[in-house]
Structure 1
Amino acid sequence: MENKLIEIQVYGAERICTSCVNLPSSKDTYEWLEAALSRKFPGQPFSITYIDIYQQQENPKRQEMTERIIEEDLFYPLVLIGDEIVGEGNPRLKAIVKEMERYGYQALEA
């Protein structure tokens, strides 16, 4: 099955989410996810983007999501694949991998 190139979006902020005090920062989570997914899906291209929720976004969908995170007090970092939220606050690698497999990616078994 040919996989579709997906974009993983990690929404976050410099300051740590109030409910996520003892967790890694959004930027740290983004970097960890990028490394972990590259190891899990070697040779299978995907893009991963970090989006600061307090910065104005040129892309209307991204701007809408940043406003939603702030207005609805969603936990961040928030991980989005397509239009699906696959992680919030302390995203689980297993859930993200499962979503990527839905798009045809094949995880390397550990």
Structure 2
Amino acid sequence: MVNLTVYGAGEICPSCVNAPSSKETYEWLQAAVSRKFPNYNQIQFMYVDIFQQANNKQNQQWINKIKEEELFYPVIVVDNEFISEGNPRIKTIYQVLEQKIDADA
């Protein structure tokens, strides 16, 4: 199982002018990754709103980094490994997922 998590907020990041919202990024990633890896159903997608109560310590750590302005949202994390912040590059995400899937095979 590969866990892809998008941390963000309903409002657009102040430094991400003209970028999609975090939720839109999450939905776009979910659709793009599902098209890229149609035969691999072991990717679990999760969206975490940074202004809601975290459901575990791991999520809270990422939320704290964003709130302390160490990272710009949306933040993309795969299996608790930082991948991207702000407007993500799909190519980078695909590369990370390919490595995880190959290791899982």
TM-score, with normalisation over the residues of structure 1? Answer: 0.87
Equivalent residue in structure 2 for 1:58, among 51, 55, 58: 55
Q: CA deviation at 1:33?
A: 0.3
Poorly superposed stretches of 4+, deviation over 2 Å: none
- Displacement of 1:73: 4.1
RMSD value, Cα:
1.1
Residue 86 of structure 1 is matched in structure 2 by 83
- Give secondary structure in 2 for the equivalent of 1:20: coil
Cα distance between partner residues in 2 of 1:30 and 1:60: 21
Shift of 1:74: 1.3
Number of residues paired by the alignment?
A: 101
Q: 1:36 aligns with which of 32, 43, 62?
A: 32
**Structure 1 Cα separation of the partners of residues 82 and 70 of structure 2:** 14
The partner residue of 1:21 within 7, 17, 23 is 17
Counterpart CA distance in 2 for 1:17 and 1:86 is 17
Identity over aligned pairs, percent: 49
Point out where structure 2 has 5 or more consecutive residues left out of the alignment: none
**Residue 99 of structure 1 aligns to which amino acid in structure 2?**
V
- Which segment is superposed worse, 42-51 or 70-79? 70-79
Structure 1 residue 43: Cα displacement: 1.7
Match of residue 108 from structure 1: none
When normalised by structure 2's length, the TM-score is: 0.91
